[in-house]
Amino acid sequence: MSDDKLHPSPPKAEPKSSKSLKLIKMDEIQATETAWLWFPYIPYGKITIIQGDPGEGKTTLVLNLAASLTGGEIPDTGEPCVPVTVIYQTAEDGLADTIKPRLDSANADCRRVLVIDETEKCISMTDERLEEAIKKSGARFVILDPLQAYLGSNVDMHRANEIRPVMSHLGNIAEKYGCAIVLIGHMNKAAGMKASYRGLGSIDLAAAARSVLIVARDKDHPQIRVVIQTKSGLAPEGKPVAFELDEHNGFHFIGEYDIDPDDLLMGIQAKSPNTIVLKTALYYVISFRKDILPMRRREESQPYSWKNDAVLDRILAFNDALNQCETLQSIRHEMAELEQKAADAAKAEEAAAAHLRFSYKLRACIGVVYEGKGSEHYTRAAAEAVLRDYPMITHSTYSNITRMVECAEQDMQSAAAKHQEITAALKEKADLLETGEHILGGGLVAELAAEETRRRQSDTVPNGYIRSDAIRR
């Protein structure tokens, strides 16, 4: 008898079935499209991280986004949308002295901005109260500022194995309730590193987010802050957009802004997208005109300066505006402000004019009644009828009325000068906008090319100037 029969092998054990195992067939999954709170920067149902150095405007940006959405407007476009309920948690700023004033300043509907009370116990990303608040309120926009304050006391943000389960849990909440969860984080101080490695904590924080935004200041124009998307897992990366933040104009979006994120973090000057097209226009000016300088008049011998060329002056004026980081959108914004100021100045001028006419009227009537002076407009009876409405005016107050007329004349001159100044500034901006739109629309570039082609084919140039080489011929 063989050994195999004497010592049979034990039967192979069947693998134990795991009750936790569940396989999902992809053909059973219904494909859906991503919904967006702010396309393509903040998706619904996902986590977004907004990073930046302290004081760069991260919180201000998020609060203004929240304000727009609670009022039923898409951020930066103003297009209507369904009003959104917001949950905003902050561990850095006071609600009464910082957050509420900022929300009021941004015209937020504060009835739609909710805060989970952390008086007795601080909340964390894994706290049941967070999910309960989202479910109860129907919030579609949840903000945790800053993210490291809400990881939990036992979580080391630099350890990937501790970060992953927390972020996974938060991501599941976002997906379950279809809300956009935004985490605000600070940048580390490792200058010179790529933007994606400047966030505090483990790189797994950014890995768990579907969108990562950086807010940074244009070092040459401190009032301008730029929002750059360094990660976009659900759509093509959005173009950088800028907003202005200063004590006079407050917060407003400027529009698209052309700068590399790594350059921005290292303080390299930004370029407006308009600059590229402008340089193309200037290229035509230089390349087509370089062979016709210097120029001379037919009758005169003084050199011709292209600084007198109206078209070039307008291009250079627009170039100056670009160097100051103005864009067409910011120019339009300034024009809207100037139009309001011009309207207010016109009303002030009219009010000053009315007061001056009233002062002249009183002085004339007092002169007729108390000084026996003649008047083209008032008889004595008419003057007395006017003064009966002002019993406090007597002969002794005549000197005061004279002084009032002098003050009214000064006020009128001041109001008229102010109105004229604002009107001139408005016209300057309107010319700048027209030139910018013409340049960016390609019209001016095409005109310059056509104009200079004609000039190259002819000795004669506008305003009676001729090419210098034609003089030699």
> pLDDT per residue over 197-241, tens digit each?
555 666 778 888 999 999 988 877 788 899 999 899 999 999 899
- Confidence band, pLDDT 50/70/90 cuts, at residue 308: very low
Strand residue runs (E) in 53-99: 86-90
> Contact, 217 vs 257, CB < 8 A?
no
CATH number at residue 207: 3.40.50.300
As for how many domains the chain has, the answer is 2
Question: Which one, of 260, 278, 282, lies nearest residue 269 by Cα?
Answer: 260
Residues 306 and 340 in one domain: yes
What local confidence, expressed as pLDDT, does residue 195 receive?
A: 52
Q: Give the lowest-confidence range in 210-219, 357-366, 460-469.
A: 460-469
Residues 64 and 125 in one domain: yes
Q: Is position 71 within any domain?
A: yes
Structural domain boundaries, residue 175? 33-265
What local confidence, expressed as pLDDT, does residue 262 receive?
A: 60
Q: Is position 182 within any domain?
A: yes
- For residue 16, how many other CB atoms are within 10 A of its CB? 6
How far is it, in rounded angstroms, from Cα 303 to Cα 283?
A: 22
pLDDT 10s digits, 362-382:
888 888 888 778 887 888 888
Say which residue, 469 or 380, is predicted with more confidence: 380
What local confidence, expressed as pLDDT, does residue 293 receive?
A: 34
Cα 40 to its chain centre, rounded Å, is 16
Q: Is position 149 within any domain?
A: yes
What is the rounded average pLDDT for all residues in the chain?
A: 77
Domain boundary among 203, 237, 265: 265
Domain boundary among 265, 291, 310: 265
Phi, psi dihedral angles at 44 (to 5 degrees):
-75, 150
Q: Give the lowest-confidence range in 173-177, 252-256, 264-268, 274-278.
A: 274-278
Residues 231 and 355 in one domain: no
Residues 191 and 287 in one domain: no
What local confidence, expressed as pLDDT, does residue 131 receive?
A: 96
Residues 241 and 303 in one domain: no
What local confidence, expressed as pLDDT, does residue 92 receive?
A: 84
pLDDT at 467 over 90: no
Q: Is position 49 within any domain?
A: yes
Domain boundary among 240, 265, 290: 265
Residues 257 and 291 in one domain: no
Cα 462 to its chain centre, rounded Å, is 42
Q: At what angle do helices 310-323 and 443-456 cross, to 10 degrees?
A: 140
DSSP letters, 101-113, are HHHHHTT--GGGE
How far is it, in rounded angstroms, from Cα 442 to Cα 446?
A: 6
How far is it, in rounded angstroms, from Cα 373 to Cα 211?
A: 82
Say which residue, 313 or 380, is predicted with more confidence: 380
Quote the tokens at residue 148: 């490291």
Q: Is position 14 within any domain?
A: no
State how far the alpha carbon of 310 is from the alpha carbons of 284, 317, 467, in Å: 16, 10, 19
Residues 37 and 115 in one domain: yes
pLDDT 10s digits, 78-131:
889 999 999 999 998 889 999 999 999 999 999 999 999 998 889 999 999 999
pLDDT at 392 over 90: no
- What Rg do the C-alpha atoms of the chain give, in angstroms? 35
Residues 158 and 216 in one domain: yes
pLDDT 10s digits, 137-147:
999 999 999 89
Residues 256 and 307 in one domain: no
Q: Is position 6 within any domain?
A: no
pLDDT at 432 over 80: no
Report which residue type is found at 5: K
Q: Is position 406 within any domain?
A: yes
Peptide bond into 40 cis (omega under 30): yes
What local confidence, expressed as pLDDT, does residue 265 receive?
A: 61
Q: Give the lowest-confidence range in 67-71, 151-155, 195-199, 226-230.
A: 195-199
What local confidence, expressed as pLDDT, does residue 136 receive?
A: 96
- Confidence band, pLDDT 50/70/90 cuts, at residue 466: very low
Say which residue, 468 or 445, is predicted with more confidence: 445
What local confidence, expressed as pLDDT, does residue 380 receive?
A: 86
Say which residue, 175 or 265, is predicted with more confidence: 175
- Confidence band, pLDDT 50/70/90 cuts, at residue 292: very low
Q: Is position 335 within any domain?
A: yes
pLDDT 10s digits, 18-54:
568 889 899 888 888 999 999 999 999 999 999 988 8
pLDDT at 441 over 90: no
Question: Which one, of 250, 428, 272, lies nearest residue 338 by Cα?
Answer: 428
Residues 348 and 241 in one domain: no
Residues 302 and 158 in one domain: no
Span 173-179, average pLDDT:
96
Peptide bond into 80 cis (omega under 30): no
Whole-prediction pTM:
0.54
pLDDT at 290 over 50: no
Residues 226 and 345 in one domain: no
